[in-house]
Amino acid sequence: MPRISMTSVFVDDQDRALAFYTDILGFALGVDIPLGEFRWLTVVSPEDSAGPQLLLEPDQHPAARAYCAALRADGIPAAVFTVDDIDRVHEDLLTKGAEVVQAPAEMGPVWTMVVDDSCGNLIQLATTPEM
């Protein structure tokens, strides 16, 4: 059976993206390989360094820029990440200076919040409260 090993988000600045995804969200650096002007740059969950990687991919292709701009204009997150305690994460993000676009809100069986990743994307964080 297939499994997810890597997915990506397009970013307008890899250094700023790395700082956001590690310093603000708490991911760990996965791979950082220089490739000319850009890098093969990934982050991983600190609890599962061998798990799926998130590629912080430069948005240099015109279609990538248009795609990101359209998603953002419509308020659609580019990625969704699971958190254990959305209220604690919300407070932590505010303390770290992240731009929270949507505070934690109940959405049926889950709670979600949306944060600006400072690199062109909206990112959704979600949790399923224990029943």
Q: How far apart are CA 104 and CA 87, in angstroms?
A: 7
Please report where in the chains the tokens 């279609």 appear, as a residue: 63
pLDDT digits (tens, 9 = 90+) for 47-101: 999 999 999 999 999 999 999 999 999 999 999 999 999 999 999 999 999 999 9
Mean pLDDT of the chain: 95
What residues form DSSP beta bridges with 28? 44
Q: How far apart are CA 65 and CA 46, in angstroms?
A: 29
**Topology given in CATH for the domain delimited by 6-127:** 2,3-Dihydroxybiphenyl 1,2-Dioxygenase; domain 1 (3.10.180)
pLDDT score of 125: 98
Report the chain's terminal Cα–Cα distance, integer Å: 31
pLDDT score of 131: 43
Q: Record the pTM.
A: 0.93
Pick the closest to residue 39 from 5, 13, 65 (CA basis).
13
